[in-house]
Structure 1
């Protein structure tokens, strides 16, 4: 089974057990080697204690008779001529006393399926070199080591089992907030409410996850609410011109008594259709902007040319009024790029100019200016149409919001909303400065492209699917 298919609690316990087992094995090997060394050193110390009295006796007077060793002590003393003065070694080993005396040192010797640790120490006297041989059965040492090894194995197994159980319990305790989050999320899915996921009192990663998920839930709810409001507003805005159009066509069919009257009714219906088409186009444009996550790109020179074209387009809509539309561009590097396409920039300029023209009387001025700064560029659109009501200013960028008819007429209230959406996708800011009795100035600041990642989603909603559904809804209504 793949490790990634296991549950988090199982993976935590399994990983902890694996690490604990590795550490335990290494620790067991180190402990056993130390015990082995201690046992070996102890056995050598015993042999030194056994040979010690004989070495002392030889140092005092080698001609004196040597005392017999204690019970169970295995020792042999060989004189310079090779004769054993004392010999309590086992027969197979004792018969090799003269041979062993010629090789001083400590070593293990196996005779007749028995293993002995043998220590040979030589001592030089005036008569020659004596040898003291002490021995100890190695089965005692091996028995101790076997018992230590068994104890280590059982201890390591018990410790690992206890560690695994503790890891399983700790994993469950750590993941219990996640389980509560999942159950709360399931409850929200089954019966959507206004509640949010529970956030624990501890300031840990799980609490941060819950807060992040709650923020996402809020954004999704806000997006759903906006979609609901947009659909409601769109239905209202579309229903009015459709009802007017239907009435005009019914009147044309039922009451037109002459060709001129019929043409007049058809012209009125065409004007209503034009308004309906403009409304549908604006709504689709808003839907496109909401779904856009990657901004466009254009140089200052290209945007300056588009600004001039926007001024020309505005002049064609003056309708004989004495209104001046002026534009100016100031930049030092025409190749500097901004995260906005020329099409979006032109649409932005068109909406701002049309708003100013709709609010203006027979005389006035609209001034457009594009200026390059150190790290951004600013588009300023200023008119002298008298400004708008201060109470309406906080809602000026809302969709389907319209000021007093004195400021404009015949619009749908989507112009500034579209401008705000385009600016948001470009990562810019938009400021409205209103001077009641004088005019309105709109200032848009957009950073240079090098300061905004190409994959930026600034200004875009966290979800674009609702916007796409809205676009399909509008398409269906128009069809």
Structure 2
């Protein structure tokens, strides 16, 4: 029932709506038809009364002025006292309805010369006219029987047609809804079997190019992002565990060797080595925590001067000659994160440069452009995208002790993207690598 719940609701809504619409239309049709037929009878009766009254006023015999009576049952001519003088047609008509007397009484009560009324089963019209032999009242009675029979035929037809049409619309709606929701059921079944271990599976995309197809395409794009995120997370966990294992193994080896020969151990040297390994672990876990926070949420930004941030981090260059050319530039950013971005770039350039590092800050195409150049070996063209991956090192022979953990440039890339910018690497004019960061300017 739950699977068919939407189908049932849609079919019920459409069927009930169609049923109510047909019921309202049927009532309107029957009411309008009845009113039209009664109006025609009243008009016909009035014309007959007028014809007879004109003939009586001119002193002519009224019978010659009557055409085919149609629905007209009887015309009576009464004197001032209400006595029947003449009846048309001349043949006696049995069972004349009481509406004749009721209409005459109503005419006398209202003191009207002419009028019409509708009784329970007849239409009555009357007119009082002065004739050479005195006042005469002409009363015409048209029975409603034939008109009522026509209305009843229509009602009987509607009582059969309306339910049949309602059921047909319900069945057609059920078929259409089933056909429309069939791709949704296929998507649901495929989605039901997708788990964290089968994220490479994709949902079927109908070839109808409608809303369901667009929904399936959007869900597949979401699965692509989830699959990519899961892959990166697995790689991140694997790389992080490997990087953590190396210093921990070195610390354990130092401790085991020293404990094996405690009398010959250099305890101060061991303490210094363990302290260095602890610092590296602390730096690694701190970088990992920072990257995790950057992945979880966007930074809180405020207007700040990027040139002041760069100036505050120039001390990161310790062993090389440093040249700086920068202009005042305002951006919207998180100062600690932008400071970390600048510091990582300068530290990376200082480690790889031969003797010179150049820093530039300018405005190009309404963007703040920060460049950090070194005269080192540079970055090969085929590695310029991978250099921003976590734990990626250009020189496989370098260790965490000599070359870092491979998280600095990954952090630069993540901070730049979190601020709506980007970072690229190219050849530097001074011979090594140029890292260029572009950030949107602040116009306030």
Residues 374 and 428 in structure 2, CA contact (< 8 A), matched pair in contact too: no
Q: Could you say if the C-alpha distance between residues 207 and 66 of structure 1 is closer, same or farther in structure 2, counting changes exceeding 3 Å? A: closer
1:356 corresponding residue in structure 2: 349
In the alignment, the residues of structure 2 paired with residue 94 and residue 254 of structure 1 have an alpha-carbon distance, to the nearest angstrom, of 134
Output the TM-score relative to the length of structure 1: 0.77
Output the TM-score relative to the length of structure 2: 0.82
Cα deviation, residue 178, structure 1: 1.0
In the alignment, the residues of structure 2 paired with residue 5 and residue 104 of structure 1 have an alpha-carbon distance, to the nearest angstrom, of 70
Residues 78 and 97 in structure 1, CA contact (< 8 A), matched pair in contact too: no
1:300 lines up with 2:304 in the alignment:
yes
Q: How does 1:107-126 map to 2 (within 5 A)?
A: 107-109=117-119, 115-121=121-127
Of 89, 96, 115 in structure 2, the residue corresponding to residue 105 of structure 1 is: 115
**Structure 1 range deviating more: 64-73 or 29-38:** 64-73
1:473 corresponding residue in structure 2: none
In the alignment, the residues of structure 1 paired with residue 244 and residue 103 of structure 2 have an alpha-carbon distance, to the nearest angstrom, of 120
Residues 118 and 135 in structure 1, CA contact (< 8 A), matched pair in contact too: yes
2:193 corresponding residue in structure 1: 187
Cα RMSD for the two superposed structures: 3.7
- Summarize deviations over 1:122-156 as a string: whole Å, max 9, x none: 56666666543210234554454445345434433
Q: How does 1:39-188 map to 2 (within 5 A)?
A: 39-44=37-42, 47=45, 54=52, 58=56, 62-64=59-61, 66=63, 73-78=73-78, 84-87=84-87, 90=96, 92=98, 103-109=113-119, 115-121=121-127, 130-138=136-144, 140-188=146-194
Cα deviation, residue 310, structure 1: 0.7
Report the count of equivalent residues: 428
Residues 331 and 439 in structure 2, CA contact (< 8 A), matched pair in contact too: no
In the alignment, the residues of structure 1 paired with residue 323 and residue 149 of structure 2 have an alpha-carbon distance, to the nearest angstrom, of 106
- Summarize deviations over 1:375-396 as a string: whole Å, max 9, x none: 4322222222342233322311
Cα deviation, residue 79, structure 1: 6.3
Q: How does 1:203-218 map to 2 (within 5 A)?
A: 203-218=209-224
- Summarize deviations over 1:6-62 as a string: whole Å, max 9, x none: 932222123223432342233223212221123213423653686587468658x73
1:447 corresponding residue in structure 2: 440
Of 391, 398, 405 in structure 1, the residue corresponding to residue 389 of structure 2 is: 398
Residues 387 and 437 in structure 1, CA contact (< 8 A), matched pair in contact too: no
Q: Could you say if the C-alpha distance between residues 286 and 233 of structure 1 is closer, same or farther in structure 2, counting changes exceeding 3 Å? A: same
Cα deviation, residue 184, structure 1: 0.9
Residues 386 and 435 in structure 1, CA contact (< 8 A), matched pair in contact too: no
> Which consecutive residues of structure 2, in runs of 5 or more, have no partner in the other structure?
none
2:407 corresponding residue in structure 1: 414
- Summarize deviations over 1:301-333 as a string: whole Å, max 9, x none: 3x4333222112x14xx2xx3x2334454237x
**Structure 1 range deviating more: 98-107 or 417-426:** 98-107
Of 280, 283, 289 in structure 1, the residue corresponding to residue 294 of structure 2 is: 289
- Summarize deviations over 1:244-297 as a string: whole Å, max 9, x none: 2222222333357656x44334433433333333222222222221112x2221
2:367 corresponding residue in structure 1: 376
Residues 359 and 407 in structure 1, CA contact (< 8 A), matched pair in contact too: no
Cα deviation, residue 82, structure 1: 6.9
> Which consecutive residues of structure 1, in runs of 5 or more, have no partner in the other structure?
452-479
- Summarize deviations over 1:402-435 as a string: whole Å, max 9, x none: 1137999422111110111111111211121224
